[in-house]
Chains A and B, each alone.
Chain A
Amino acid sequence: MQQQPVISMQGVTFGWEKSPILDIPDWTVSKGQRVFLYGPSGSGKSTLLNLLSGILSPWQGQICILEQDLSRMKAGARDRFRARHLGMVFQQFNLLPYLSVRDNIALAHYFSPESNDDPSWLRHILERLGLTEELLARKASDLSVGQQQRVALARALLNRPELIIADEPTSALDTELRDQFMQLLLSCVKETQSTVIFVSHDRSLAEYFDIHQDLRALGKAQEAQPC
């Protein structure tokens, strides 16, 4: 079970301008692994996530997710692949503020119509994350940050993605909410058996994860100017 690689990067370089800010000769994450990725700001964390999600394409090299080569897919296919197999949670602004919570969650299904519409699973995660009917009817902008993050997690889990990418999802939360969120995240991915890439500069969260990975150690990653 540990053998199947979920992420495999070979000789990947990427940069915004002339000099590369990411240079990853070889990196593999196996199925079910929970990876804590850390590094100082500007070390290319967000860029790495953009590459993993197929939104940006590397200058060179090969990125395979679930043994599929992203660079061989067309843009539209990459988008559908992302909708179906990846769940993403960001630091903040995960939701369209003017849509209802219910519609925000439904978006995940809208962009991945081929994944099964499983009402019992939806009910399960809503209950699991404490999203009540009353909350679902509200506009996303009316929710507290903690509630918004739980909605984002529900949406990320809706299609039972193989890979969950979380980019500083707790940095806007206070300690109590942060711990609560981590518990929920980890118990949920246990159910979906998803692989997790968790990016944070908060080393105290590392205890939740099996693998700790310093981004700078991935390769000759260079200091980039903060943007």
Chain B
Amino acid sequence: MLMRIATASLWNRRLTVLLTVISIAVSVFIMLGVDHLKNELRSSFGRTVSGVDLIVGARTGPTNLLLYSVFRIGNATNNISWQSVQTLSQSKEVAWSVPISLGDSHKGYRVMGTTADYFTHFKYGAKQPLEFAQGHRFDGEQQVVLGAEVASKLGYSIGDSIVLSHGSGSVSFTHHDRYPFIVSGILAATGTPVDQTLHVSLGSIELVHSSGGHANHAEEDHDHESTIHEHKAHDALTPESVTALLVGLKSRLGVLTFQRKVNQFADEPLLAILPGVALSELWQMMGMAERALALIALLVLIASLLGMTTMLLASMKEREREIAVLRAIGAHANFVLLLIELEAILIALAGALLGYLSLAGLLTGLQHWIAGRFGLFVGGLPLSGSTLAYLGLIVGLAALLALVPAILSYRSALSRGLSVRT
């Protein structure tokens, strides 16, 4: 009967109740959304690189190395010499190694020089290899493999010609326009920075820099045939240095030993990082922003719950008669208290449910759009322990705040009697 009275009473004030439910739903939406996005970002970042045991770069901060080598954020201050790369690659612990070279760009997208092995060894997510949506790997110089987003955003397809620019800005004054590249392949979307990268061979990077902007070789004289010939020769050409080296070990057990070996490398100062460890350090840095967002979400929630309390308080006057009727029939003052508490809990539950469902629905609906737009893979919203804890917290807070009108009603039910003061 208590339930029936509560639901009938709420239905009777359905417009106000609906608005209150919506305001709670919005705050639940924000709160769960922030929390979920945080978790998904974390796992999305975590998925960016897998199967790589160590990343080796010139000595810098671990986060810095991780950011520029994997996320293409920022620039390397120093490179590793090719000699060190060779030495490390030939260590007995190393199963495979892939050098990468950054520094050029194309319309704001980073260009990465690497070897064809990159497409074999680089993994993302749950050790998923890179797959080609179209075409194939670059085969020698002047071929480029595009990330999914680069191809779709810039509208390139196989066979198109692309000119790279020096530096990483979207506006560059130095264009390597003497050496156009032909699109040889387009990768399938991964939801990682790979989608935003143009992949060329290390040799191409060398070639472009030696002949383009810097023009050391003064190749202007060469005719077309000899240029091609020259390219063949450049295939064997080795770069002086690279930005970083991705390393896979034969046994993961040796990771820490090998990391120490790299860090103590005698020939030049190097730094080896474990991607997972560096990621968690990165998250510690992001913790502040995360907490700020969580705090804002909590404040929004409190605001909407205060709104609910206000609504309940505002309805107290008109409810005096109801309370008098209930008391006259024999309801204890507790009944009045419970009735108002139950109404608050029902409102909060409905709001929490609505917020949860709309967030879950939106995430499911927009999953592809987010992945395509921001390169982030945001999974659906599971009804996990932490989600349930949040929903429980919301209902609990609602019940707590509703104590204000509930106790006021209780006291007036006890002291005022059956007469309604007008």
Query: Which of A's residues lie within 8 Å of B, judged by CB?
Result: 46-47, 49-50, 53, 55-56, 75-76, 79-80, 82-84, 86, 88, 90, 93-99, 103, 106-108, 110-112, 155, 167, 227
Residues of B within 8 A of A50 (CB): 417-419
- Among B4, B9, B322, B325, the one with the most A-chain Cβ atoms within 10 Å of its Cβ is B325
Closest Cβ–Cβ distance, residue A141 to chain B (whole Å): 8
Task: Verify B329–A155 contact, CB threshold 8 A.
Answer: yes
Residues of A within 8 A of B324 (CB): 93
B-to-A contact residues, CB < 8 Å: 1, 4-5, 8-9, 11-12, 321-322, 324-334, 414, 417-421
Are A107 and B329 closer than 8 Å at their CB atoms? yes
A46 touches B419 (CB 8 A): yes
Tell me the interface secondary structure of chain B in the complex. Answer: helix
**Also in contact, A111 and B329, with CB within 8 A (given A96-B322, A99-B5):** yes
Contacts of A90 in B (CB 8 A): 328, 418
Task: Report Cα–Cα, A106/B329, bound state, in Å.
Answer: 11
**Given A98-B8, A98-B11, A107-B1, A83 contacting B420 (CB threshold 8 A):** no
**Which residues on B sit within 8 Å (CB–CB) of A53?**
328, 418
User: B321 touches which one: A93, A107, A111, A155 (CB < 8 A)?
Assistant: A93
6 contacts between A and B (CB under 8 A): A76-B334, A88-B328, A96-B9, A99-B5, A110-B1, A111-B330
Inter-subunit contact A99/B330 (CB<8 Å): no
Q: Which of B1, B11, B330, B331 has the most CB of A within 10 A?
A: B330
CB-nearest residue of chain A to B1: A110
A residues in contact with B5, CB < 8 Å = 96, 99, 103
Tell me, in angstroms, the Cα distance from A90 to B322 when the chains sit together: 13
Give Cα A53–Cα B327 distance, bound, in whole angstroms. Answer: 10
Judge whether A99 and B8 touch: CB under 8 Å: yes
The 3 lowest CB-CB distance pairs between A and B, nearest first, are A83-B330, A98-B12, A111-B330
A79 touches B330 (CB 8 A): yes
Q: Is the CB of B417 within 8 A of A55?
A: yes
Give, as a whole number of angstroms, the nearest-CB distance from B10 to chain A: 9
Shortest A199–chain B CB gap in Å is: 12
B15 to chain A minimum Cβ distance, whole angstroms, is 14
Q: Across the interface, do A79 and B332 meet the contact criterion of CB distance under 8 Å?
A: yes
Residue of A nearest to B12 (CB): A98
Q: Inside 8 A of A76's CB, which chain B residues have their CB?
A: 332, 334
Chain B CB within 10 Å — which of A55, A86, A99 has the most? A55
Residues of B within 8 Å of A111, CB to CB, are 329-331
Write out the residue numbers on chain A whose beta carbons fall within 8 Å of the beta carbon of B328: 53, 55, 82, 88, 90
With A50-B417, A83-B330 known, 17 other A-B pairs at CB within 8 A are: A55-B417, A56-B417, A80-B330, A82-B330, A90-B418, A93-B324, A96-B322, A97-B12, A97-B322, A103-B4, A103-B5, A103-B8, A107-B329, A108-B330, A111-B329, A155-B329, A167-B418
Nearest residue, chain A, Cβ from B417:
A50
Which of A46, A75, A110 contacts B417 (CB under 8 A)?
Answer: A46
Q: Which residues of A contact B421 (CB under 8 A)?
A: 227
The answer to whether residues A108 and B419 also contact, given A97-B12, A98-B8 and a CB cut-off of 8 A, is no
Contact A93 B4 (CB under 8 A): no
> A93-B420, A106-B1 are known contacts. Are A84 and B12 too (CB-CB below 8 A)?
no
A2 CA to B414 CA, complexed, in Å: 34
Task: Give complex CA distance A82, B329 in Å.
Answer: 7
Closest to B331 in A: A111
Per the bound structure, the CA–CA distance linking A43 and B414 in Å amounts to 22
Q: How far is the CA of A155 from the CA of B329 in the complex (A)?
A: 9
Q: How far is the CB of A30 from chain B (nearest CB, A)?
A: 24
- Determine how close the nearest CB of chain B comes to the CB of A116; give it in whole angstroms: 16
- List residues of chain B with CB within 8 A of the CB of A47: 417, 419
- Determine whether the beta carbon of A98 is less than 8 Å from that of B9: yes
Residue of B nearest to A76 (CB): B332
Q: Least Cβ distance of A41 to chain B in Å?
A: 12
Residues in A neighbouring B321, C-beta threshold 8 A: 93
> Would you give the shortest CB distance from B140 to chain A, in whole angstroms?
80
Q: In this complex, what residue of A is CB-closest to B13?
A: A98
B9 to chain A, nearest CB (A): 6
A residues near B417, Cβ cutoff 8 Å: 46-47, 50, 55-56
Kindly state the separation between the CA atoms of A73 and B15 in the bound complex, as whole angstroms. Answer: 42
Which chain A residue shows the least CB distance to B4?
Answer: A103
CB pair B8 A75 closer than 8 Å: no
- Min C-beta distance of A223 to chain B, whole Å: 17
User: How many angstroms between the C-alpha atoms of A89 and B5 in the bound complex?
Assistant: 20
Q: Which residues of B contact A84 (CB under 8 A)?
A: 330
B220: shortest Cβ distance to chain A, in Å?
90
Q: How far is the CA of A158 from the CA of B43 in the complex (A)?
A: 64
